Amino acid sequence: MNTRIAIAAVLTLAAVPAFAQVDPATRTYSLVEIGTTDVASNNNSGRIAGGTRAGTAATPRAFFWQSGSLALIPMSGYRESTATFVGPSNEVLGTAIPNGRGSLKGFRVAGGAVKWLPGLGGKMVTPTSVNSGGTIVGYATNASNLPQAFKYTGGNASVTLGTLGGPTSHAMDINTAGTTVGYSRISPSNNITRAFTHSGSSMTSLGALSANGSSWAYAVNASGSAVGASDSASGRRAVLWSGGQTTTLASVFSIAYDINAGGTVVGTMIPAGQQEMAAFVWHNGTLIDLNSKIPAGSGWILTAARSINDSGEIVAKGIYNGQTKTVLLRPQP
């Protein structure tokens, strides 16, 4: 059932202009503080969504952000909520916990309406991505309380995407063509997880950098290139799967979280000789610590870049004045 809600006027502001694809090595970035927010996602309209305790929110609440204004998404009867993804048509996906607890419900907000998404027979539904055709993917628990990747195309039911042989799987992103990526356990007898790509009715393992290691795919772009992380003989590494090839993006501990249409990848790493995490951007073989591309003396320490749109705008986590916050990085012409 859909529930009508009032969304602040901020949601109808015009889209921001696009930037041409330029090698990030030649770019610097301006910083726009979003606030004390949790996981955030941005789209090509410049809109950001996530969860926050800011303002009057005593518990985490799903929010929209646009052009400097943050608006909470009301969820009557739910004690907590967070947005997990903002889609190409400005729809928002997320999760909410009812006042009585006991379950985690998945939602889609589109056109001012909340649609509660069907799961797979269990008590948890977490949508993670939606494409331009409206197909939603994510993961939900089944009747055995095990999470499995699902797809929702409308109606009153979601369908499982299956697994790679183990009991659990998670779908993390879907592109316009319907290619889905995520990760799945490969056997009930071990905890090895492998990144997968799913198209049509087929789930295919993307492999790992070591024979007994795990891997995870978190994002896929329009051309089918996927990014994530894999265990290797030297530790966990950010990886790109593209054209049948696996490319290691960094020689240090690292995780890739997102990739845009131009093939620019963002994520987090521990630079050589350091102990703290640093946000990175990667493009055409060049890995860059984003802390080297922001104004000197800004006071920010960028720890993880979580999302990038096709204009090259990056949503990152960082530390500012001793607090962990979300910040928008806008590439400068």
CB 15 within 8 A of CB 44: yes
Report the C-alpha gap between 161 and 196 in whole angstroms.
11
* DSSP letter, residue 20: P
96-102: Cβ within 8 A, 24+ apart: 96/62
pLDDT digits over 184-230, tens only?
A: 999 999 999 999 999 999 999 999 999 999 999 999 999 999 999 99
What's the pLDDT at 21? 58
Which residues make Cβ contacts (< 8 Å) with residue 53, sequence separation at least 6? 36, 59, 60, 61
Report the C-alpha gap between 194 and 164 in whole angstroms.
8
| AA letter at 273 | G
CB 182 within 8 A of CB 170: yes
What's the pLDDT at 57? 55
The sign of the CA dihedral 288, 70, 82, 3 is: negative
What's the pLDDT at 25? 74
Helix (H, G, I), strand (E, B) or coil at 230: strand
Report the C-alpha gap between 121 and 18 in whole angstroms.
42
DSSP per residue over 159-178, as a string?
Answer: EEEE-SSSS-EEEEEE-TT-
Structure-token pair, residue 160: 């499982």
Torsion, Cα 10 12 15 16, to 10 degrees, reads -20
Report the C-alpha gap between 65 and 48 in whole angstroms.
5
Distance (Å) of CA 159 to CA 91, 184, 193: 21, 16, 21
What's the pLDDT at 22? 63
pTM of the model: 0.92
CB neighbours (10 Å) of residue 16? 16
Which residues make Cβ contacts (< 8 Å) with residue 188, sequence separation at least 6? 165, 166, 167
What's the pLDDT at 1? 33
Q: Can you list the residues of the chain whose pLDDT is less than 50?
A: 1-20
DSSP per residue over 22-87, as a string?
Answer: --GGG--EEEEEEESBSS-EE-TTS-EEEEE--TT-SS-EEEEEETTEEEE---TTEEEEEEEEE-
Distance (Å) of CA 281 to CA 26, 52, 287, 288, 289: 12, 25, 6, 5, 7
Helix (H, G, I), strand (E, B) or coil at 208: coil
Helix (H, G, I), strand (E, B) or coil at 179: coil
What's the pLDDT at 56? 57
Which residues make Cβ contacts (< 8 Å) with residue 190, sequence separation at least 6? none
